Amino acid sequence: MPNNLMPYVSQVAVGRLDRLGVYGGDWPTPDGTGVRDYIHVMDLADGHVATLRHLLAAPPQLLTLTLGTRRGTSVLEMIRAFERASGRPVPYDIFDRRAGDIAACWADATRTAQVLGWRTHRGLDDLCDDAWRWQQANPRGYGG
């Protein structure tokens, strides 16, 4: 089974899972659910390519950078965006918080933008549209 939000949301929308479990509805966030930085896989790949180009063009160096959107999205915002993309409801239940979770966390990619000139180009709707397109074509996942 997956270990992050997007595969679960996708599998609920395609009918492979009945409901999504949301852990924590009482966080100090705008809608009470956890906030995270969700990056489109193509933006992530572009960031890796930009990093490799930089390293190949510069003398050997130690380079520590962060790739991310620089903004947070709540679990409920993600659910609503996926419902728009799929045209299907994503039913969910809110459970108690999990031990070790935090209310909000997102990347500060300011230095990455300065060093590489890199930033994300795809938003939450793009992420959900592409994830839904893949999930429809592969309803049982990889190899299914």
Point out which residues pair with 92 in neighbouring strands.
Answer: 20
**Tens-place pLDDT, residues 2-44:** 568 999 999 999 999 999 999 999 999 999 999 999 999 999 9
Which CATH number does 5-137 carry? 3.90.25.10
State how far the Cα of 111 lies from the Cα of 118, in Å rounded to an integer.
Answer: 10
State how far the Cα of 52 lies from the Cα of 65, in Å rounded to an integer.
Answer: 12
pTM across the whole model: 0.90
**Tens-place pLDDT, residues 98-138:** 999 999 999 999 999 999 999 999 999 999 999 999 999 98
Token duo for residue 26:
């009482």
**Tens-place pLDDT, residues 53-98:** 999 998 778 889 999 999 999 999 999 999 999 999 999 999 999 9
